[in-house]
Amino acid sequence: MGSTSAENNGADGTSGVGRRDLIKRSAALGLISVPAMSFLSACASSGGDSGGEKAKAGTKTAKNPLAVNDSAPMEFVLFDGGFGKEYAEDAVKIYEKDFPKAKVKFAATQKIQSTLQPRFNQGTPPDLIDNSGAEQMDMGVLASKNQLTDLTPLLDAPSYDDPAKKVRDTLRPGIVEMGQLDGSPVWILYYAYTVYGVWYSQKALDSLDEQYPETWDQMLAVCAKAKKKGMAGWTYAGKYPYYLPFSLYPMIGKVGGREVLDAIDNLEPNAWKHPAVKACFDAYYELQQKGYVLKGTPGLDHIQSQTAWAEGKALFIPNGSWVENESANVIPKDFDLAVSAPTGLDSSDKLPFGTIWASGGEPFIVPAKGKNAAGGMEQLRIMLSEASSKNFTGKVKSLTAYNGGTDGITLTPGLKSGVAALEKAGDNVVNPRIQDWYVQLQKEQIGVAGLGEMMAGRITPAEAIKKIQGFADAAAKDSSIKHYKHQ
């Protein structure tokens, strides 16, 4: 990820959508682990267990479907971010229990690239990596240099809990597809699962005697009512306006259909000139023009906007499900945090109310030159069990790629609301890829220069669309950028 403070904030798209837990947050949560980092650096400088041969395959059995060599060492390096490392350490213990003769070397660091790139270059990478954070390695480059293991054997293996079900059949919508680059094999397994949408206090909404608005006329009416009570309708991370798409993109998909979002992702000419884009930009601009956005919002960063919202200065904020953990110290106990899919325009929208953006985060990879790729995949198979998934969800207030794992857990209000929103959406889950395919375009150009300027009232929706289309066209023609397309 990049170097601005915004990119340590939870809205960065480069590590795949949704694991928004970088250096600032990690430090704030006390999760930076100096001993682990120094241990890892020691591994790196000595090249890990360099010089050894690849582990020979073990015996394939019902309990060992990936034929892991039960005495081969396995090395696992985790990004040490907002989710902490305890969930991974717990999963390692299960691996060690299943393969008592195997020695597992586990470490957590924020310096993924600077620590591990030299080991890729030496041909001595670890067996499993959580390739996330500000120092995430470029997935496209790793894949093009044949540095990644195809995870199809893992996806086709029996799941940890139910041998009759393949691992791929236990995953949430979009996870398998996200792990592909241009219709490639599956190189990446995104472990966390983020729900994006409009976040609010159910208590505040109840105090206005209102339901969450499903049409834009209803949205404007709720904002007008809030304004009369001294509360703004909306705020957002004004300094990092690429948060706005967390509700705006799925609204565009709801109004115009998935194909509009696909055209935008594919950098198609005139994709941004679709009537659904204009209608949704006009709707958001109306919030600004009618004074329903918290005064001063364009100058607020993500933390300041979330704090103002938690203090009841604004009713709605576009965000991802990490906001519950990130704002835990400012959200009042009786806030009753909730999330909704974005409000649509009216009954002519192509997709029903409830259409939401949700997608994977925390990208795990198994390096092709690791000595124990089967062990790396087996560790992921363990993490995708119901028990490990529940452990993660219970500890970090986030869902995993495993489609379930919430039974019997006392869910926090935001998480409970996120699960309900996913259930309501059903198959109407969209996953715009522009934020992880074209990071600079999404952040600096669409976000700051386009949406940010429009929502500050400095340019009109028509001007914003013209600017953004120009940026997208330039990116499409830029041969130095790797281009992706929906298959």
Tokens of residue 390, six digits: 């529940």
Tokens of 32: 């930076």
Residues 452 and 381 grouped into a single domain: no
Query: How is residue 165 annotated by DSSP?
Result: S
Asked whether 10 and 320 are in contact (CB, 8 A), the reply is: yes
Residues 128 and 266 in one domain: no
- 390 and 373 assigned to the same domain: yes
Tokens 């601009």 belong to which residue?
A: 285
Report the CATH number that the domain containing residue 307 is assigned in CATH: 3.40.190.10
Domain identity same for 394 and 468: no
Q: Where would I find the beta strands (DSSP E) of 211-262?
A: 232-234
For residue 52, name the pLDDT band (cuts at 50, 70, 90).
low
What is the tens place of the pLDDT at every residue in 149-205?
Answer: 999 999 999 999 999 999 999 999 889 989 998 777 999 999 999 999 999 999 999
Say if CB 425 and CB 110 are below 8 A apart: no
The answer on pLDDT for 9 being more than 90 is: no
Whether residue 242 is found in the same domain as residue 318:
yes
154 contact partners, CB below 8 Å, separation of at least 6: 66, 167, 189, 366, 377, 380, 381
Query: Residue 37 pLDDT more than 80?
Result: no
Is pLDDT above 60 for 3? no
Residue-level length of the chain? 487
328 and 396 within one domain: no
Distance, CA of 362 to CA of 347 (rounded, Å): 36
Residues 470 and 335 in one domain: yes
> 12-16, 264-268, 455-459: which has the minimum mean pLDDT?
12-16
Residues 56, 93, single domain; the answer is yes
**Judgement on whether residues 219 and 346 belong to the same structural domain of the protein:** yes
> What's the whole-number average pLDDT of the chain?
88
Contacts of 113 (CB under 8 A, 6+ apart): 135, 136, 137
Report the pLDDT value the prediction gives residue 41, as an integer from 0 to 100. Answer: 35
Residues 6+ apart with CB under 8 A from 79: 15, 108, 109, 110, 112, 130, 131, 132, 133, 136, 362
Backbone angles phi, psi at 400, to 5 degrees: -110, 180
Report the candidate in 411, 415, 481, 420 with the shortest Cα–Cα distance to residue 445.
Answer: 481
**Smallest Cα–Cα separation from 440: which of 404, 482, 403?**
482
485, part of any domain: no
User: At 30, is the pLDDT very low, low, confident or very high (cuts 50, 70, 90)?
Assistant: very low
Q: What is the mean pLDDT of residues 127-137?
A: 89
Residue at 337 is within a domain: yes
How confident is the model at residue 366, as a pLDDT? Answer: 98
416 and 438 in a single domain? The answer is no
Domain that holds residue 252: 196-357+432-477
Do 236 and 344 reside in the same domain of the chain?
Answer: yes
In a domain, residue 407? The reply is yes
| 133 vs 363: CA distance, rounded Å | 10
Q: CB–CB of 312/389 below 8 Å?
A: no
How many domains, in total, are found in the chain? Answer: 2
CA 465 – CA 449 distance, rounded (Å): 11
Residues 188 and 203 placed together within one structural domain of the fold:
no
